[in-house]
Structures are given as structure tokens and as C-alpha cells.
Amino acid sequence: MTIKAINVRNQFKGTIKEIIIGDVLSEIDVQTAAGTVTSVITTRSVRELELVVGSEVIAFVKSTEVSIAKL
């Protein structure tokens, strides 16, 4: 599945403005045109995606979660 295959209404393009790193989980704050979207993802994913403050990302919102993809 590609990023384009996901419903566009559930995507928010933005820039990471803060990352709070934890041992297992990390909190990612993404500044979007609609406001700040916060996601909790594994710290391993933060490292594997090489996410840093200033990275351009897309926040994918489902009713139960917010996922992050690096652009």
C-alpha cells in the first residue's frame, strides 16, 4: 500500500516540532495546518525512520491511533 492509497481525509502533512524519547515509547508532536497532532510510537520506529525535530512527515489518523511516515 502506498501513502496515496490511504484516505486523504485522514492525512495531515506537517513538521515535527517536538520528540519526547522514552525507553520503549516516544511522543511525537507534529505541527500541521490544522494544528498540532500528537502520536505515540515506538522509540525503535523513531530511530528506524530517523525522525528528528524539523522532519517533514505525514500523520495518518485512525479512530484509535495516529501513525507517522517520513517524507
Long-range Cβ contacts of 39-47 (<8 Å, 24+ apart)? 39/65, 39/66, 39/67, 39/68, 40/66, 41/67, 41/68, 46/19, 46/21
DSSP 21-64: --SSEEEEEEEETTEEEEEEEEHHHHHHTT--TT-EEEEEE-SS
What are the tens digits of pLDDT across the range 3-56?
566 665 678 899 999 999 999 999 999 999 989 999 999 999 999 999 999 999
Q: Which residue has the higher pLDDT, 43 or 2?
A: 43
Calculate what percentage of the chain has a pLDDT beyond 90.
63
Q: Give the CATH architecture of domain 10-61.
A: Beta Barrel (2.40)
The model's confidence at residue 71, banded by pLDDT at 50, 70 and 90, is: confident
